[in-house]
Amino acid sequence: MSNSEPGFSTLAIHAGAQPDPTTGARATPIYQTTSFVFEDADHAASLFGLKAFGNIYTRIMNPTQAVLEERIAALEGGTAALAAASGHAAQLLVFHAIMRPGDNFISANKLYGGSINQFGHAFKSFDWQVRWCDPEEVGGIEELIDDRTRAIFIESPANPGGTFIDIKAIADIAHKHGIPLIVDNTMASPYLVRPIEHGADLVVHSMTKFIGGHGNSMGGMIVDGGTFDWSASGNYPMLSEPRPEYGGLVLHETFGNFAFAIACRVLGLRDLGPAISPMNAFLLLTGVETLPLRMQRHCDNALEVATWLKNHDKVDWVSYSGLEDDENHAMMKTYSPNGAGAVFTFGLTGGYEAGIKFVEALEIFSHLANIGDTKSLVIHPASTTHRQLSPEQQESAGAGPDVVRLSIGIEDVADIIGDLKQALDRV
């Protein structure tokens, strides 16, 4: 191997993996086991005391998961990563490490509907308070920060409209106030955007979407950027204070720039338990190998489809930042020069009723609540993913009654457009 840094496509295939040392198996094996045999009592003691790294029990660590973690950390440019059972599990583990009862965090209101529910409802039971901001009004974010604010959370591009957010500007505000910026990079994947390069401290993923890419496995990932000083303020005691269960060990002091990933593993995953299965880790790893190819095809197809829709007389508007005259186009070019992603929204002139008819008339597109599959997907957010939200919340989340969301797959683009055409004819 040469000394030069491998490219993205090479890392997507090789990072974290090697032929199995025992059998020579070339594909990463599915280590379908709950537990791992200790060499002797001393070995067991040092594993349990965090004096040595090693496998104990699959809730906390497993070799198949470990390859996936190392690979995504490499693709995102982070110091370490931790896989979880789903994207929501990853978010829970992140906030569990950061928040104490009574603390708050600021979150973009342009967000995956499930995250709006998790932050606004489930987190309330822990007394973790969310303060919503408009991520496109960067000036309004700072006034929401007080001495109990522990993080800023954004999604870019944001669900469901695919709007690119100014990561760098928001990172600067977070850092001015000594708090980390967390970016949900599910919609872009690291092929399109690497938030840590723009100032994000932590990245979370629903690997259920583009990273796995085939709509067959749930998974989440936390990537530690290694950039944030968890000890400076005293506001992150889980990282900066001695842990009684590990003999008084201080995680940040001991593990330095990958302490956050360790905290999520040895405290969060250990005690809350949302581990990913080895089988799902294997399927997601297989997906990652083709991430660059798939993502580029998603982007190329989506741009053609958006351009075609824009010229259709039953379409009121198309919001796709890949279109040159889109108001978000310059932001997209700054953060995502390879393309604008697969997901975008448009409005039908016929409103709510037309939206429902259209969705039902499609044949290649599947009507379901997911994005990031090889297959083209469609949903009407106001009647599905965003239906629990108030009309005002729906509007501010870009999910008004006339909005249809597409996740463009990697089929032949002529067939995708043909399907949209026949469905529009029937509206």
Ligand X SMILES: *Cc1c(COP(=O)(O)O)cnc(C)c1O
Q: Which residues contact ligand X (rule: CB under 6 A)?
A: 86-88, 112, 114-115, 155, 159, 184, 186-187, 206, 208-209, 218, 220, 371
Rounded to the nearest 5°, which phi and psi values hold at 396?
Answer: -70, -25
Residue 192 vs 239, nearer CB to ligand X: 192
Residue 348 vs 381, nearer CB to ligand X: 381
Taking the complex as a whole, the smallest distance from the CB of residue 377 to ligand X amounts, in Å, to 12
Taking the complex as a whole, the smallest distance from the CB of residue 277 to ligand X amounts, in Å, to 13
Taking the complex as a whole, the smallest distance from the CB of residue 155 to ligand X amounts, in Å, to 5
Query: Which residue of the chain is nearest ligand X when measured via CB?
Result: 87
Q: Checking phi first, is residue 325 left (phi over 0); if not, alpha (psi -120 to 50) or beta?
A: alpha
Task: For residue 369, give both structure tokens.
Answer: 């609540």
Q: Given the structure tokens 């929501």, which residue do they identify?
A: 88
Residue 104 vs 115, nearer CB to ligand X: 115
Residue 64 vs 159, nearer CB to ligand X: 159
Look at residues 110, 120, 84 and name the one whose alpha carbon lies nearest to residue 261.
Answer: 84
Taking the complex as a whole, the smallest distance from the CB of residue 221 to ligand X amounts, in Å, to 10
Number of helices (H) and strands (E) in the chain: give both, helices first: 17, 12
Q: Distance of alpha carbon 243 from its chain centroid, rounded?
A: 29
- Distance separating alpha carbons of residues 116 and 397, to the nearest angstrom: 10
| CB burial of residue 368 (10 Å; 0-12, 13-18, 19+) | middle
Residue 220 vs 339, nearer CB to ligand X: 220
Taking the complex as a whole, the smallest distance from the CB of residue 175 to ligand X amounts, in Å, to 23
- Distance separating alpha carbons of residues 417 and 412, to the nearest angstrom: 9
Residue 239 vs 331, nearer CB to ligand X: 331
Taking the complex as a whole, the smallest distance from the CB of residue 186 to ligand X amounts, in Å, to 4
Taking the complex as a whole, the smallest distance from the CB of residue 110 to ligand X amounts, in Å, to 10
The answer to whether 294 touches 192, Cβ cutoff 8 Å, is no
Task: Tell me the three-class secondary structure of 185-226, residue by residue.
Answer: CCCCHHHHCCHHHHCCCEEEEECCCCCCCCCCCCCEEEEECC
Residue 208 vs 319, nearer CB to ligand X: 208
Residue 110 vs 252, nearer CB to ligand X: 110
Look at residues 300, 374, 311, 366 and name the one whose alpha carbon lies nearest to residue 339.
Answer: 300
| CB burial of residue 161 (10 Å; 0-12, 13-18, 19+) | buried
Residue 113 vs 235, nearer CB to ligand X: 113
Look at residues 332, 338, 383 and name the one whose alpha carbon lies nearest to residue 359.
Answer: 383
Task: For residue 315, give both structure tokens.
Answer: 């379409």
Taking the complex as a whole, the smallest distance from the CB of residue 292 to ligand X amounts, in Å, to 20
- Classified as helix, coil or strand, 347 is strand
Taking the complex as a whole, the smallest distance from the CB of residue 223 to ligand X amounts, in Å, to 14
Residue 55 vs 277, nearer CB to ligand X: 277
Taking the alpha carbons at both ends of the chain, their separation in whole angstroms is: 58
Taking the complex as a whole, the smallest distance from the CB of residue 229 to ligand X amounts, in Å, to 27
